[in-house]
């Protein structure tokens, strides 16, 4: 009886260690960007090492006026995903205060979620305003590391 208990205990210990070894390690990164009345393109780099099996990108964008485009680019320069959002409110350069005092205002939101294979190199999130924009962008990435 003792021998079978020892074997069962060893088996359970082995399975626990095996299960623990199978847990994935992750590296999470979150970045919040605010664009205040600018038309300047922003390029946000994300360096990935060869120990990454796959990456989950999530980009959320909130826009008050004009138009903005978001692209996710892999290290080879290939566009992995993109979206554009535009507001019906157009910024008036001659009357800058009118944007905040108009009877009609809106906030437009957009989101992209993309899961890609982990490739060593620098991924890029490219933010391209069309005209001057007021926008908040949140970029989240989760790198799943190889065990």
Number of folded domains in the chain? 1
Residue 1 domain-assigned (yes or no): no
Q: 42 by DSSP, 3-state: which?
A: strand
* pLDDT for residue 24: 73
Residue 139 domain-assigned (yes or no): yes
Q: 75 by DSSP, 3-state: which?
A: coil
H or E stretch including 32?
Answer: strand 25-38
73 is in which domain, residue-wise? Answer: 25-145
Residue 123 domain-assigned (yes or no): yes
Q: If we measure between CA atoms, which residue out of 26, 25, 27, 48 comes closest to residue 125?
A: 48
* pLDDT for residue 146: 85
Residue 16 domain-assigned (yes or no): no
Residue 8 domain-assigned (yes or no): no
Dig out the tokens for 129 from the structure.
Answer: 């305003």
Residue 136 domain-assigned (yes or no): yes
Residue 99 domain-assigned (yes or no): yes
pTM for the whole structure? 0.77
Could you report the per-residue pLDDT of 23-67, keeping only the tens digit for each? 678 889 999 999 998 999 999 999 998 899 999 999 999 999 999
Three-state secondary structure of 77-120: CCEEEEEEEECCCCCCCCCCCHHHHCCCCCCEEEEEEEEEECCC
CATH code for the domain in which residue 67 is found: 2.60.120.760
Residue 57 domain-assigned (yes or no): yes
* 84: confidence class by pLDDT, cuts 50, 70, 90: very high
């Amino acid at each position: 009886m003792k021998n079978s208990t020892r074997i069962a205990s060893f088996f359970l210990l082995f399975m626990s260690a095996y299960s623990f070894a199978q847990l994935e390690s992750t590296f999470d990164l979150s970045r919040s960007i605010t664009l205040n009345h600018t038309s300047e393109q922003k390029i946000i780099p994300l360096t990935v090492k060869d120990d990454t099996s796959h990456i989950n990108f999530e980009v959320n964008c909130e826009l008050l006026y004009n138009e903005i485009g978001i692209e996710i680019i892999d290290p080879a320069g290939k566009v992995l995903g993109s979206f554009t959002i535009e507001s019906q409110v157009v910024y008036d350069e001659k009357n800058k205060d009118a944007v905040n005092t108009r009877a009609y205002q809106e906030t437009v939101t957009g989101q992209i979620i993309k899961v890609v294979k982990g490739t060593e190199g620098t991924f890029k999130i490219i933010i391209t305003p069309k005209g001057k924009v007021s926008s908040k962008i949140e970029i989240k990435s989760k790198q799943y590391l190889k065990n």
